């Protein structure tokens, strides 16, 4: 009997979105959105629409490219800290400490204004083909943000790699797998599976680090809304729209990682 009821309940509430409390939350959300839309002042959107879109695109581009490249480069950094050799582990470790220990803003400035102001002094560089590259801000932003991902994710991966049960690695070793194979087939997948939720969080942290590039003339999502606020002196409406955009981006990240977590749920 109980069995039957269980089945039935599961059937009834099969569509998870229809749980009562979720309906209430949704209704509340709709009311909130409605009142915000009608009560506040949104005239400026029309004027800035295209600027906002391109800024959002820049944010996404920066986030995705730096995180992917940085994460791939973080693997060796996490790995040498677990396996050695000693000197390399120390180098990797100091790298992580320095990058994690200083504000990203400072790093961006040092690369852009510090190193950037050294390049023009080099004889003949202004005529060379890399000059347009050096004068734009993107390479510096990309470089600084990638370094930061490398350092933070290197640290996360170090913890994750050392947490994989030793027995499973021994099993691989005992069958003559090469170290690289063990890494790519057993060690890394196992480590990443365990830390997916943490990595998801790190992507969101990185999302929120991207606005710093505004200080080197890249107008990203955050910067465009700052500009709007300064030009119009409207305080909350641009902030709300910006929040909505960041929420959507973070929501997308969370969804992707929830999906990945589900895929790897077994343990």
**Footprint (CB under 8 A) of other proteins, residues 81-120:** 97-98, 100-106, 109-110, 113-114, 116-117, 119-120
Q: Calculate the CA dihedral of residues 251, 253, 258, 264 and round it to 10 degrees.
A: 180
d(CA 195, CA 160): 6
d(CA 97, CA 2): 57
DSSP summary character for residue 167: H
Residue 58 beta carbon to other proteins: minimum distance, rounded to whole angstroms: 13
Counting contacts by CB under 8 A, is residue 22 touching other proteins? yes
Counting contacts by CB under 8 A, is residue 76 touching other proteins? no
Task: Considering only residues 157 through 186, tell me which ones interact with other proteins, judged by CB under 8 A.
Answer: 158-159, 162-163, 165-168, 170-178, 181, 185-186
Residue 35 beta carbon to other proteins: minimum distance, rounded to whole angstroms: 13
Scanning 32-40, 61-69, 142-150, 193-201 for contacts with other proteins by CB under 8 A, the matching segment is 193-201
Count the residues of the shown chain that bind other proteins, applying the rule CB under 8 A: 101
Task: Considering only residues 130 through 159, tell me which ones interact with other proteins, judged by CB under 8 A.
Answer: 135, 152, 155-156, 158-159
244: number of Cβ within 10 Å: 12
Cα Rg of the chain (Å, integer)? 24
Nearer Cβ to other proteins (72/230): 230
Counting contacts by CB under 8 A, is residue 262 touching other proteins? no
Nearer Cβ to other proteins (53/243): 243
Counting contacts by CB under 8 A, is residue 264 touching other proteins? yes
Task: Considering only residues 212 through 241, tell me which ones interact with other proteins, judged by CB under 8 A.
Answer: 214-217, 219, 222-223, 226-236, 239
Phi-psi region of 177 (alpha: psi -120 to 50; beta: other; left: phi over 0): beta
Cα-to-chain-centroid distance, residue 146: 11
Residues 6+ away with beta carbon under 8 Å from 74: 149, 150, 151, 152, 153, 154, 156, 157
Q: 131 near 113, Cβ under 8 Å?
A: no
Residue 65 beta carbon to other proteins: minimum distance, rounded to whole angstroms: 20
Tokens read off for 139: 């390479």
d(CA 134, CA 142): 12
Residues 6+ away with beta carbon under 8 Å from 220: 55, 58, 59, 62, 210, 211, 213, 214
Task: Considering only residues 26 through 45, tell me which ones interact with other proteins, judged by CB under 8 A.
Answer: 41
Counting contacts by CB under 8 A, is residue 204 touching other proteins? yes
Nearer Cβ to other proteins (46/235): 235
Counting contacts by CB under 8 A, is residue 54 touching other proteins? no
Nearer Cβ to other proteins (146/241): 241
Residue of 42, 89, 139, 194 interacting with other proteins (CB under 8 A): 194
Nearer Cβ to other proteins (66/155): 155
Phi, psi torsion values for 62, nearest 5 degrees: -60, -45
24: number of Cβ within 10 Å: 10
Counting contacts by CB under 8 A, is residue 197 touching other proteins? yes
């Amino acid at each position: 009997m109980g069995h039957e009821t269980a089945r039935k309940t599961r059937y009834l509430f099969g569509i998870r979105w229809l749980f009562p409390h979720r309906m209430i939350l949704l209704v509340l959300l709709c009311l909130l959105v409605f009142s915000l839309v009608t009560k506040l002042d949104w005239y400026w959107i029309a004027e800035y629409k295209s600027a906002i879109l391109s800024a959002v695109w820049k944010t996404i581009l920066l986030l995705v490219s730096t995180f992917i490249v940085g994460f791939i480069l973080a693997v060796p950094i996490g790995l040498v800290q677990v396996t050695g050799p000693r000197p390399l582990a120390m180098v990797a470790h100091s790298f992580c400490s320095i990058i994690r220990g200083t504000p990203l803003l400072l790093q961006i400035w040092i690369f852009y204004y510090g190193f950037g102001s050294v390049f023009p002094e080099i004889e003949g560089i202004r005529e060379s083909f890399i000059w347009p590259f050096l004068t734009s801000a993107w390479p510096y932003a990309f470089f600084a943000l990638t370094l930061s991902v490398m350092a933070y994710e290197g640290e996360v991966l170090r913890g994750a790699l050392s947490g994989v049960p030793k027995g499973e690695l021994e099993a691989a070793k005992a069958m003559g797998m090469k170290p690289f194979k063990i890494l790519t087939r057993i060690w890394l997948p196992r480590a990443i599976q365990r830390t997916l939720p943490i990595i998801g969080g790190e992507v969101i942290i990185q999302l929120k680090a991207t606005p710093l590039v505004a200080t080197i003339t890249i107008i990203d999502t955050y910067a465009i809304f700052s500009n709007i606020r300064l030009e119009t002196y409207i305080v909350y409406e641009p902030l709300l729209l910006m929040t909505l955009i960041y929420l959507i981006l973070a929501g997308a990240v969370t969804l992707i990682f929830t999906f990945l977590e589900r895929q790897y749920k077994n343990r």
